[in-house]
Chain A
Amino acid sequence: MATERRFRVWRGDAKGGDFHDYTVPVEEGEVVLDVMHRLQAQQANDLAVRWNCKAGKCGSCSAEVNGHPTLMCMTRMSDFPPDDVVTVSPIRTFPVIRDLVTDVSFNYEVAKRIVPFQPRPMTEEEKEAGSYLLAQEDIDRLQEFRKCIECFLCQNVCHVIRDHEENKRNFAGPRFFIRNAELEMHPLDTADRRDQLQDEFGLGYCNITKCCTEVCPEGIHITDNGIIPLKERVVDKRYDPIAWLGRKIGFAKDQRRL
């Protein structure tokens, strides 16, 4: 049975805008995206909403519901009290195009700057087999990183760029640390990404307050399994005097490739 629920939806574009109040019928079991579609169909035909799969896998319908960065298709209306006025706004960190749709091209520009995968040459055995031979335990760790659906909620919630627009020049953001972690920890990759991570991608800006992990709809442990291990690898190269001395005198080797 449908119940009337109240919403405050941000409407506008880069020139300005504000919240509009709506009352929309909500059916049992619906998610916020369902309600936005009903609103669009019945009351606000020009409401801009980006969506695609409605199954939490395409990463298109990122928005902020009651101030929480989330996928609208994965946010159940039953999570809110019946008398709550549900606020829906576009993700804050990126330029708004219109209503709930933002321009996330910042992320694609960062992605272009990542050093591509550089696999080692194949062994004779691998040439015969026609493909690289990998042990499962060597790639288990990477599977988690590959779950990323590029919803950019982690990019949106990260205070380094959310609260400081000027830092976008120097900071890649959690999604691209995860992409770098996937490459950096890959058993076949030969590139050393640590200098770029620290100097160009601003790994040191991250103060590991873990909001990226909190909002990730795929449950990726962005900080614990991606960013912090990358920080430790940078420490190996730059901030650990004993490791540095060990490499200088030939006692220690870069263990990533051993």
Chain B
Amino acid sequence: MAARVATGEPETAGGRASISARTLRKDAWWRSPATTAGVLLAFVIYSTWAAFQTTDYTWEPYISPFFSPCIADACHGSSSTWSFVPWWPLPAILILIFPLGFRLTCYYYRKAYYRAFWLAPPACAVAEPHRRYTGETRFPLVLQNIHRYFLYFAVIFNIILSYDAIVAFRDHSGAWGHMGLGTLVLLINAALLWTYTLGCHSCRHLCGGKLNIFSRHRFRLRLWKFVSWFNERHMQFAWASLVWVALSDVYVRLVASGLIHDPRFF
């Protein structure tokens, strides 16, 4: 038998069905954006704190990824010292701009933070709270279109961090043929950053996505297929690399400050 159920004020904009509820979803739709917001906030708080901690971020042969390349005098003697702004007191601030820009304009992270922080929308079929919406058509969000330029910088940083991982096969006195837990930490860090970068949508486009006639560009077709594999897992690599880069910083700090001893494999 039918029974009428009142549902509040009718909504007739555009002749739509008069359903006033913000959403009729019953599942925990808020869980995913809340988790995203929590993890991203935790990373922002930690990385901001770390950027201002200008001690204990390097211990031969390791250097925190937040401070590499080491561009200030503060870390002379570390693995990759390129001291072109020796006077600059907070090297991480200069360095973090590039990976931050890369992730801020990343097509995956855009989804994550538009949902989690801007609530546009908070989840699918859940109404957003904004009265107007212009998306990425106006300043400043139109600047999301420069993502590929941050990609170019990200590749440079990946090369530097890969170099850091390789020189971590030296021991504390600089002799080659060493591997400690820190070496493994930096190797995984570099590998995860490459997996994230290779899966970048701009990278996929530049590698071959922009072509219409693949049959005339066999190498770029193979390249496109190769990076497409990473692109399908872009979200997973985005989170894994983000968390690992923070853990790498934590590890180097723990070793450099003497709180833990770096276990040596050989």
Interface of A toward B, CB cutoff 8 Å: 8, 10, 12, 14-23, 43-44, 64, 66-69, 84, 87, 89-90, 92-96, 102-103, 135, 137-138, 141, 157, 159-160, 162-165, 167-168, 185-187, 189, 202, 204-211, 214-215, 223-224, 228-229, 231-236, 238-240, 255-258
Contact = CB atoms under 8 A, between A and B. Distances in A.
Interface of B: 1-7, 10, 12-19, 23-27, 107, 110-111, 114-115, 120-121, 124-125, 127-128, 130, 132-137, 141-142, 145-148, 201-202, 204-205, 209-217, 221, 231-232, 234
B201 A228 contact: yes
Contacts of B133: 159-160, 163-164, 167, 205
B72 to A, nearest CB: 30
A23 B3 CA distance: 10
A255 B210 contact: yes
A187 B213 contact: yes
A54 B21 CA distance: 29
Contacts of B25: 66-68
Contacts of A23: 1
Given A17-B17, A163-B121, A228-B107, A206 B211 contact: no
B17 A21 contact: no
B24 A208 contact: no
Contacts of A15: 12
A135 B210 contact: no
**Most chain B CB neighbours (cut-off 10 Å) among A23, A68, A159, A162:** A159
A44 B2 contact: yes
Contacts of A94: 14, 16
B210 A67 contact: no
A249 B110 CA distance: 34
Given A16-B12, A208-B107, A229-B209, A159 B120 contact: yes
A211 B124 contact: yes
A160 B133 CA distance: 7
A232 to B, nearest CB: 4
Contacts of B202: 232, 235
B114 A207 contact: yes
Q: Which 5 A/B pairs are nearest by Cβ-Cβ distance?
A: A95-B15, A67-B24, A67-B25, A135-B215, A205-B135
17 contacts: A8-B5, A18-B5, A19-B7, A20-B4, A67-B25, A68-B125, A69-B124, A89-B24, A95-B15, A135-B214, A137-B215, A141-B214, A163-B128, A185-B212, A205-B135, A207-B110, A211-B125
A95 B16 contact: yes
Contacts of A167: 133
B2 A22 contact: yes
Nearest to B124: A211
A209 B117 CA distance: 12
B13 A165 contact: yes
A159 B19 contact: no
A137 B221 contact: yes
B4 A18 contact: yes
A253 to B, nearest CB: 11
A95 to B, nearest CB: 3
Contacts of A84: 26
Given A67-B25, A235-B147, 17 more contacts: A17-B10, A21-B5, A64-B24, A64-B125, A67-B125, A89-B17, A95-B16, A162-B125, A165-B14, A165-B16, A210-B111, A224-B201, A224-B234, A228-B201, A233-B210, A239-B142, A258-B217
A66 B24 contact: yes
Nearest to B3: A21
